[in-house]
Amino acid sequence: MRVLLVHDYGRPTGGAELQTLALRDGLRAAGHDVRLLASRAALAPGPLVADDTCFGTTRGRLQVVSQLANPSAHAALRRAIAEHRPDVVHVRMFLAQLSPLIMRPLARVPSVFHVATYRAICPRYTKLLPDGRPCTEPAGLACLRHRCVTPQSWPLHLAQLGLWRRWRGNFDAVVTLSEAARAQLEAAGVGPVEVIPNGVADRPARPPLAGPPTIGYAGRLSPEKGVDVLLRAFARLRSVRPDARLVVAGDGPERAALGTLSRALGLDDRVEWWGHVARDELERRFDRVWVQVSPHVWAEPFGNVVTEAMVRGTAVVASRVGGPAEILDQGQTGVLVEPGHHEPLAAALDELLSDPSRLDRIGAAARRTARRRYSHAAMVANVEALHRRLVERATGERTGLVVRGARP
């Protein structure tokens, strides 16, 4: 089968990008002819590994404009379809760089939208208001009223969502990563939606716990990730566990503010800020982490860092919301706490760090679950089955065996 993958970014730097590349490699290993089309924009340093590329930018105002209409992306997709003649076009993120213009050429080829964020229903992509409360209103005037976007950018965001709604019927299927994400999308009128969880690469189990009790965070430093909650929890924890350490891997718009908060809480001598770390190096460093924390305050569509920690055999404490709340079995393969509150997070960390044997039990159970339920092989097999259904349906329509109805 010939498959054209489409994604905003073509560098192995973020979770969504690594998942896209893993899907490409997995489908190729299964014998499929797969190409990746992505923009040349970079969220972090890293090699461009897409097969076909187009214009992309992370320069503020120019990016907002290109998110609405990126003619380079439209032309590149038309060219890739003509040259590659894919049986299926598999689109992941496209509203941050490639723009809704790429949806127009999909009318004549089976295509799937694999949703990894809420960008199609929320300009902020998180379904969170600026004050951290969940947003329950449809995108539109509410975005301006709650100051989720600036008055200057609001018309462009609204126009982008309008184009997405106009052409979304060109997608033959919509899939997402968790039941929580499916509920958000279907509540906003997108559907029907299938669920295909992300996969995680297998790896050796971590070595035995040693050294000072160490807590780890890996991910983007942005408000929805809740790293400020983790810092406050760690400050509370230090009063009873002064030997504990915290390592933070990642970068993002909140880096400076989080550094200021860390200093205000008196944590500078116990927090290590690693910045962006390449995947292999991150795994090597996180082998010494006792507990990994995902303190997100939004309904995370999946939570790659959770399954990555699980397959390593590292115990996880995560917020009880979004994908991680489905992935973790409370008390068995991880610990779930209420999002946005540092006191229960601190209490959970104190309890776990006081019992290394429990950390080992939880980590071992989590590793078994991740390898069985969230393997790359399982993810690729689910995507293959979806592609076959789309191709069979399209073939039936062309031969007159199926009466084509309205697309979802």
SS (H, E, C) the chain: CEEEEEEEECCCCCHHHHHHHHHHHHHHHCCCEEEEEEECCCCCCCCCCCCEEECCCCCHHHHHHHHHCCHHHHHHHHHHHHHHCCCEEEECCCCCCCCHHHHHHHHHCCEEEECCCCCCCCCCCCCECCCCCECCCCCCHHHHHCCCCCCCCHHHHHHHHHHHHHHHHHCCEEEECCHHHHHHHHHCCCCCEEECCCCECCCCCCCCCCCCCEEEEECCCCHHHCHHHHHHHHHHHHCCCCCCEEEEECCCCCHHHHHHHHHHCCCCCCEEEEECCCHHHHHHHHCCCCEEEECCCCCCCCCHHHHHHHHHCCEEEEECCCHHHHHCCECCCEEEECCCCHHHHHHHHHHHHCCHHHHHHHHHHHHHHHHHHCEHHHHHHHHHHHHHHHHHHHHHHHCCCCCCCCCC
Q: Which two tokens stand for residue 128?
A: 């969170």
Strand pairing partners for 112? Answer: 90, 173
Can you tell me the mean pLDDT for 360-370?
A: 98
In this model, does residue 141 exceed pLDDT 50? yes
32-53 confidence digits (pLDDT tens) = 999 999 999 998 888 999 999 9
93-116 confidence digits (pLDDT tens) = 999 999 999 999 999 999 999 999
The CATH topology of domain 2-199+376-398 is Rossmann fold (3.40.50)
Confidence at 398, pLDDT banded by 50, 70, 90: low
Cα angle vertex 298, ends 146, 373, to 5°?
A: 155
Question: Are residues 16 and 220 in contact, defined by beta-carbon separation less than 8 angstroms?
Answer: no
Question: If we measure between CA atoms, which residue out of 172, 74, 111 comes closest to residue 405?
Answer: 172
- At residue 407, the pLDDT reads 40
Please tell me the class of the 214-373 domain: alpha beta
List phi, psi (to 5°) of 272.
-110, 125
229-275 confidence digits (pLDDT tens) = 999 999 999 999 999 999 999 999 999 999 999 999 999 899 999 99
In this model, does residue 380 exceed pLDDT 80? yes
What is the residue extent of each domain of the chain? 2-199+376-398, 214-373
Q: Of residues 399 and 196, which shows the higher confidence score?
A: 196
Cα angle vertex 139, ends 125, 300, to 5°?
A: 30
Spatial separation of the C-alpha atoms in residues 317 and 333, rounded to whole Å: 10
Spatial separation of the C-alpha atoms in residues 268 and 262, rounded to whole Å: 6
Mention every residue, 6+ apart, whose C-beta is less than 8 A from residue 162. Answer: none
369: amino acid identity, one letter:
T
- At residue 397, the pLDDT reads 73
Give pTM, 2 decimals: 0.91
In this model, does residue 406 exceed pLDDT 80? no
Rg (CA), the chain: 22
